Amino acid sequence: MDEDPRKPLSRLSRLLDDGWLAPLHPPDSSNVQTVRGRIGNIDVIAYCTDGSTMGGALGQLGGQRIAAAIDLAVRERCPVIGLWHSGGAQLAEGISSLDGIGRVFAAMIGASGRVPQISVVLGTAAGGIVLNRLSDVDFKRYLRLVLTVIGAVYLVQAVRLYIG
């Protein structure tokens, strides 16, 4: 049976040049994989949420993984690329998952103007995961964006390229 194409290493291996994918941590329960790699002659740091597990929901550990990858990109002065497919926070973790999302916000803001940040939305992006809009370039192949505002839910479908 073929591997699920939504798995992070599958997606990251299609993004990066052959032979240049080096995981920054062993696989774990974070629903996130972070890697070092290369595209053309450019070293990059990349991360991907796991859309095949719990809808890619992000918890505290996943947020810490992404924040650490962004911080590493800043230290190494290389672009950071995020592949997003996430239903938002892991609600079962409660407030801890929001801490993870907050750490990603802080890292992205800290990297702003220092290294290029590119986000590619490959599936659902809900709740705090709309933070991909903090990137310098935000590609949305197919996006179902769910925003909750004072109890109302809005569903937006779009195919756009945002350059901020």
**Mean pLDDT over each residue of the chain, to the nearest integer:** 79
End-to-end CA distance of the chain: 41
Evaluate if residue 138 carries a pLDDT over 90: no
Q: What does pTM read for this prediction?
A: 0.80
In a domain, 3, yes or no: no
Give the structural domain span for 135. Answer: 8-163
In 3D, which of 40, 41, 44 has the Cα closest to residue 78?
Answer: 44
Query: What's the CATH number where 72 sits?
Result: 3.90.226.10
Residues 21-59 pLDDT 10s: 999 999 898 999 999 999 998 999 999 999 888 877 899
**Number of folded domains in the chain?**
1
Residues 54-90 pLDDT 10s: 877 899 999 999 999 999 999 999 999 998 888 778 8
Evaluate if residue 103 carries a pLDDT over 80: yes
